[in-house]
Amino acid sequence: MMEEMYGLMNYHEQVPPPDSARENYGHHAFDDQSPEVGAPPDISNLFDEIFRDNDFCRRSSACSCLGDDPELDEFMETYCEMLGKYRSDLARPFDEATTFLNNMQTQLTNLCKGTSITYHTVLIGNEALAGYFYAASFWIRQLQQTRRGIGKP
């Protein structure tokens, strides 16, 4: 099962025999004239030997199934929990900053609604207010892009 999951097969098992390839892909118009593709038998045997020498999953000292090593399983569970906590800890400042900037933008929008002022007239009439409005909009966009980068919607 583990071999199938990670593609741990010998070279001959990975390359389909010519008959099954023809069944899967049909006959080419120039099938009889097409050269065979693949390694010659001596190179194929060399690949198999190298694979056997480096086959860690089939060695008796290596674990091949979940549950064979309870300590490793426990470590991996703890590690995954820590990664989840780390991700939420990284996202917390972005969430707080987004909330703060959304509140700032709402307050600035409400300030502008009362006098029916557009962004352009704010820019001309009150440069400080326009700067705050622009900064809030800019940082909200930046935080949204950053949150998308760490996997948050």
Query: Same domain for 106 and 152?
Result: yes
C-alpha distances (whole Å) from 86 to each of 80, 91, 146 are 10, 9, 16
Answer whether 105's CB lies under 8 Å from 133's CB. yes
Parent domain of 47: 1-65
CB-based contact 92:43 (threshold 8 Å): no
Q: Rounded to two decimals, what is the model's pTM?
A: 0.32
Per-residue DSSP letter, 26: -
Residue 96 amino acid letter: E
pLDDT tens-digit readout, 78-126: 999 999 999 888 888 888 888 888 888 888 878 777 655 555 554 555 5
Give SS3 for 145.
Answer: helix
Residue 78 lies in a domain: no
Per the CB < 8 A criterion, the answer to whether 140 and 101 are in contact is yes
Count structural domains, the chain.
2
Q: Examine residue 153 and state whether it is found in any structural domain, yes or no.
A: yes
Q: Is residue 24 part of a domain?
A: yes
pLDDT per position as a tens digit, 94-107: 888 888 888 888 88
pLDDT digits (tens, 9 = 90+) for 10-42: 545 555 555 555 555 555 554 444 455 667 788
Q: Residue type for 79, please?
A: Y
